[in-house]
Structure 1
């Protein structure tokens, strides 16, 4: 059968052979339509709507796609306003479309026959930011499920949320005692793969092949997807500078800082297909089509970390951050940041580092060096395009103390503590930790020490000294917390000597324990120094006592260590 020309045209066009090339066209006053033969979207003054893919509007009835900033010290969010659009680069198979605002440039890189776009933002004059994000709100009927690297399944229904009792920020208690909260749909920024929302016919996914533009270190966590509790929208959050699980963030990015490119991908709802596409993106990073000279200027940093006692720093977490930093690792977010782990011999190599000068920091990540409580630091690490800065042998100083006991491994996480095999994020799981607990050194295991604490009560570590405390020696109790959410906890020795409290130094609070985190929030470390005479030969105890309880405002444990120095 010979098809008429018009029928043949539509068949061929459906196959993408005669498909429309990537385009930018005017759609009204400060409105532009962009896309290709597979999809299109209409960008307005602030929001982008009418996202057409496979014959459907994926954002029907929602706010669509937009960027917003949370200025430090201001609880509100401001959407960026777009004033103009143009094509800044044309390749053989793509165009780079720039939308301009007072704060910076939002780019959509659209290729031939590609179901999605690479996006990136170039700063001009952002204020001192706490949060910076792009958001995509999608039709809940088309996108009933969510997926992160640690959770995959149905998003909570709006009807279930409305039938439940609100207990706190975006958290509801169901009649069966379980909880609904958006924070269960969070993930680790540095170790995640891809994330998104999907259904039987459609999927939308964010893919970050590179991570150097994110703020924070290895332990940085963020909210990824959720069900919007007023409208029911399926929401994808792209928190390129976020604070959901840290104490604070106040960064002034320089003009020219680039966030991205990341990839916004649309498909038929297949997770396996999204995984394949993510793996392809990783292989292509850093992207060759980016022409920015600073983006292309990259080198390598390598080194060999050895502890002062001769042990290799096996598995150590290695972080390239601010040079001569004035902030915590988690709060760093001005320029670009890189993470790695040393191998079993303490050797590390960090490729594709942007040219510049960095501060290198390293800390124990459990394993063979889980007793090391100090942080290695080296400033003035320079990176030059196309070269390797081989730092060579790096000796990690140790304080030379005499250990009495250690509960848990030092890795800045609550791993190893009970309950075993818990998810990274689950609202209310900390309720399973008891109000009071006794851990006996030499008999108990880390699994007997629960991961978190917030209830009124006393946790006790019982231990025995075979000999009297060394004469003239000072005792040091080090408490490393994987997260601290503002609780007041007194610390005593042998039930009579008060050596301090978690609030005594007025630390900033992170939201980890009340936002579903079970592994970490933002790391803290306290050292309580006291006279060794407070201890005795034979039985001794250290007590942690909570007198005022507020639901889920507590701590996530990392390790507790007693030493003489």
Structure 2
């Protein structure tokens, strides 16, 4: 190793951007070298990084400094307000795994420890972070800011394209946070267009003609949130042009809030940071290997390796299986929504056609089990399911058996849209992330039950105007089925929002009588999630409302209508719809 270090030091001292590593036996295998009390070099025979107190400032791989003039690698929380400061580095563990030698290098900061697990022959490293003193926070991330000539494209599971050139980020065209009108006036440039669902990623990253840098997060139990958790993945840093590969392991970009306290020892990861020649096919193959190998056998941590399983069958109270239900294992006796949970570990799956579900490789602990409609054959189910005190241990599988899910027995007058916490099915609902798409929805809209299709209702309402649902009743009181009303014949309007961006207020009318409102103005008003103005088209923070009213005084035989009158509006903000249901 001594013959390798002078060459590398000379490169550092003379500012050489690219060093060809000599194929010397001294350079074979993983290593940690301390240059001084605030500079270290880590790597193996394929790559190496020069790590300072905050930033990994050089990444040498295949005769290229892949950081160049960019910032490099760092760990931070609450945006860029607090970058972790590494006070020491040491080899935490070393060993052999499947014939490869490895070292686990630990960089220590006041808040916790960042680990790089470097294996011989691996282009990249496994990484994980162990909390010791992180403050209460919303955003926590690791990331690379890389050379913009080496890495020209970004890829997630739903978007793969060239990153806009820095020359198109024109100050005069800036319309909001990290969002610009394109120079040709056609569309917008925004980093939020590259957001995606956290739990559907197999691999994502940035690449060019000859280089690729990828993240592969096979476990995902350390992420905050549920199935609908979405985050930023890649983008261009508008101030410098750096290409950003973002590992947002605790984020809030599309939520009302996700502020959590973390127990000492909370572990994020491990994930694999992987380098190659830019081949997406190679990255896909590697990701498949990583998912098959998780949880990683080489990580000798008792809590990480102590895992069990949970299985059961969800059956609706009307006898139907809970086909394709979204199932979530999270906080026991929760005081937060499933999307907002983030202190511990979280697991997501979907039931099969018969309502059966299974979670494998679950950390030993006590959980709360939740389920809700994901559309499909149970798109009419408006109630969620919760069971607390689900104990998972390493000793034996946890079999919950049949679980009865109580649903509403009230007859439906109409339903617009599947109940699935998303805007799927509506016009533009679930389109590729696109800034200002909600502006394509009309100010006034008429939907006629029995004639209109789901796609005739637009996914979001942002303009002042009236969106009206017309429907017919054979009687002003419920008569169908075995249901009979009390003297008032009460009805309930259920409004399920896939998201809401503050700045819009709506009055809800039934046949000219106000039965409710949706507003951010009152003390108990709606809180903001940034979904609609940050390019989301399918979901933000889910909200559920019930507006009961006296049907005998409001509804009538024959033609009726329910109207959502948007009386206050703000550009690109408003309501993202999930489902609207009227019940007796």
Gaps of 5+ in 2: 1-20, 479-486
Shift of 1:84: 0.6
Matched, 1:159 2:167: yes
Residue 498 of structure 2 is aligned to residue 482 of structure 1: yes
CA distance in structure 1 between the aligned counterparts of 2:171 and 2:208, rounded to whole angstroms: 24
Which piece of structure 1 moves more, 15-24 or 85-94? 15-24
What corresponds to 1:525 in structure 2? 544
Q: Distance in 2 between matches of 1:473 and 1:540?
A: 16
How do 1:494-533 residues align onto structure 2 when only pairs under 5 Å count? 494-503=511-520, 505-532=524-551, 533=553
For structure 1, the 5+ residue unaligned runs are 1-12
Report the CA distance between 1:500 and its aligned residue: 2.6
Matched residue SS, 2:538:
coil
Alpha carbons of structure 1 residues 15 and 519: separation in structure 2 relative to 1, 3 Å: farther
Other-structure match for 2:365: 356
Match of 1:492 among 504, 509, 521: 509
Candidates 241, 247, 252, aligned match of 1:243: 252
Q: Distance in 2 between matches of 1:483 and 1:367?
A: 21
Q: How does 1:165-564 map to 2 (within 5 A)?
A: 165-174=173-182, 175-419=184-428, 422-423=431-432, 425-470=433-478, 471-486=487-502, 487-503=504-520, 505-532=524-551, 533-564=553-584
Q: 1:35, 1:195 → 2: CA distance? A: 22
How much does 1:117 deviate? 0.3
Q: Secondary structure at the match of 2:319?
A: coil
**In the alignment, what sits opposite 2:483?**
none
SS at match of 1:279: helix
Q: Note the alpha carbon deviations across 1:213-237, whole angstroms, 9 max, x for none.
A: 0000000000000011111110011
CA RMSD of aligned residues (A): 1.6
Q: Give a deviation string over 1:465-512, Cα, whole Å, max 9, x none.
A: 111224422110000011111121111111233423344531221000
| Displacement after TM superposition at 1:163 (Å) | 7.3
Q: Is the 8 A contact 2:429 2:537 kept in 1?
A: no
* TM-score for both structures, normalised by structure 1: 0.95
Distance 1:245 1:537, change over 3 A: same
Higher mean alpha-carbon deviation, 494-503 vs 168-177, is at 494-503
Q: Aligned residues, how many?
A: 548
The runs of at least 4 consecutive aligned structure 1 residues that moved more than 6 Å come to 13-18
Tell me how far 1:14 sits from its aligned partner: 6.9
Show the counterpart of 1:142.
150
Question: TM-score, normalising length from structure 2?
Answer: 0.92
Assess, with a 3 A threshold, how the Cα gap between structure 1 residues 16 and 245 changes in structure 2: closer, same or farther.
farther
Q: Paired residue for 1:50, among 45, 58, 65? A: 58
> Structure 1 421/557 Cα, relative in aligned 2: closer, same or farther at 3 Å?
closer
> What are the Cα deviations for residues 283-333 of structure 1, in whole angstroms up to 9, with x where unaligned?
110000000000000000000000000000000000000000011111100
What is the rounded CA distance, in whole Å, between the counterparts of 1:489 and 1:27 in structure 2? 62
Which secondary structure does the structure 2 equivalent of 1:282 belong to?
A: helix
Query: Which residue in 1 is equivalent to 2:94?
Result: 90
Instruction: Rate the CA distance shift 1:164–1:281 in 2: closer, same or farther, 3 A.
Output: farther
Residues 382 and 408, structure 2, Cα contact 8 Å, conserved in 1: no
Deviates more, 1:355-364 or 1:448-457: 448-457
Query: What do the CA deviations read for 1:336-385 (whole angstroms, capped 9, x no partner)?
Result: 00001000000000000000000000000001101000110000000001
